[in-house]
Amino acid sequence: MNRSDQLNVAWIIKHRPTCVKDVVGSEAKLVQKFIDSGTIPHFLFYSRTPGTGKTSLSKAMIKDLDADYIELNSSMDRGIEIVREKIKQFISTMSSKPGVKKIVFMDEFDGNTKIAQQALKSMMEDFGKNAMFILTCNNIEKIIEPIQNRCEVITFGTADKGSIYEYCENICVLENVKFTEEGLKKLIDIHYPSIRNVVGDLQKFKAIDVEVTEAFVKKSDEKFELLWTNLKNKKVLDVRREILEQGYDEDLLLRFFFLQTYEDKTLSNIQIVKLSKVLADINYKFSVGADKRIQIGAGVFDIFQAVM
């Protein structure tokens, strides 16, 4: 990769850990224990929030094990034909590396059809001696129980903020990003548990040559704070229009509204209870695959009623 390519590549890819031990989080430590034991099950890596390290850990495992592998993104490579043809053909042949199982890595597995999942569950048992599966998903409700039962399910999103800080601090040093400790911690707080979003913002800040300070990072919250103020001032239609027209990140906006349940001291206990229930309901709809833009556009009216 030449210097021009390095400047343009996304940092989350450029600085992706190359081995399991370098992956941030307790999830990697658990996987390392399985690798060290020599008994490695099928894995299902799950998190509600994208960007928590599922794909990075999967790729690190493949590299550590030095295995023959096939990689499929189930949001695109989906359906019974892929399972019957591409996957079965791959796992039916012996590994080129004696004693090392082949790996089928299926990213965004929750995008797979139920029929394809049914076909896959039998293959996980029938070819278990020759191949192992690594599956990732954000909506575990879309994964059939027989698949879940055949896997070691590991939930992501609980990485220690200190570990995330060290990882991002190292990127800042390597990429010559100017930052303060308070600024980087604030950025992590805003995006937690998504490591991907933190690294993405660091790359943006480097591009515009600004220092990552607490004051600068807080400015990214100002648009949400204005929405909150307008909502409390009964300008709900203006708020809804702003959300839909500007295309704000729905997950970050929902998280911001939730923070107000304990940061906004003007809310009564009844308002806090009502708002918490509304936000939990919207978050659940996000998690089961509902269109986030539609849900936040409609949910803003319920949020408004909760705070009035």
**pLDDT in tens for each of the 308 residues of the chain?**
444 344 457 899 999 999 999 999 899 999 999 999 999 999 999 998 888 999 999 999 999 999 999 998 866 666 677 777 788 889 999 889 888 999 999 999 988 888 889 988 989 989 989 999 999 998 899 999 999 999 999 999 878 899 999 999 999 999 999 999 999 999 998 888 889 989 999 998 999 899 999 988 876 677 888 899 999 999 999 999 988 888 777 888 888 899 899 888 999 999 999 999 999 999 888 877 788 889 999 999 999 999 98
Are 50 and 170 in the same domain? no
Rounded CA separation 31/36 (Å) = 9
User: Rg of the chain's alpha carbons, rounded to an integer?
Assistant: 22
End residue of a domain, out of 155, 180, 203: 155
Contacts of 274 (CB under 8 A, 6+ apart): 305, 306, 307
End residue of a domain, out of 106, 137, 155: 155
Are 72 and 179 in the same domain? no
Are 199 and 262 in the same domain? no
Q: Strands across the sheet with 151-155, in order?
A: 69-73, 102-107, 131-137, 42-46, 151-155
Burial code (b: 16+ CB inside 10 Å, e: under 16) for 96-131 equals: eeeeebbbbbbbbbbbbeeebbebbbebbeebeeeb
Amino acid letter, residue 290: A
Look at the chain and report how many structural domains it folds into: 3
In this prediction the pTM is 0.74
Are 225 and 151 in the same domain? no
Host domain of residue 103: 3-155
What's the CATH code of the domain at 57? 3.40.50.300
Angle separating helix axes 269-287 and 250-263, nearest 10 degrees: 160
Q: What is the pLDDT of residue 144?
A: 95
Q: What is the pLDDT of residue 240?
A: 93
**CA atoms 96, 109, 48, 144: torsion sign:** negative
Are 144 and 166 in the same domain? no
What's the CATH code of the domain at 170? 1.10.8
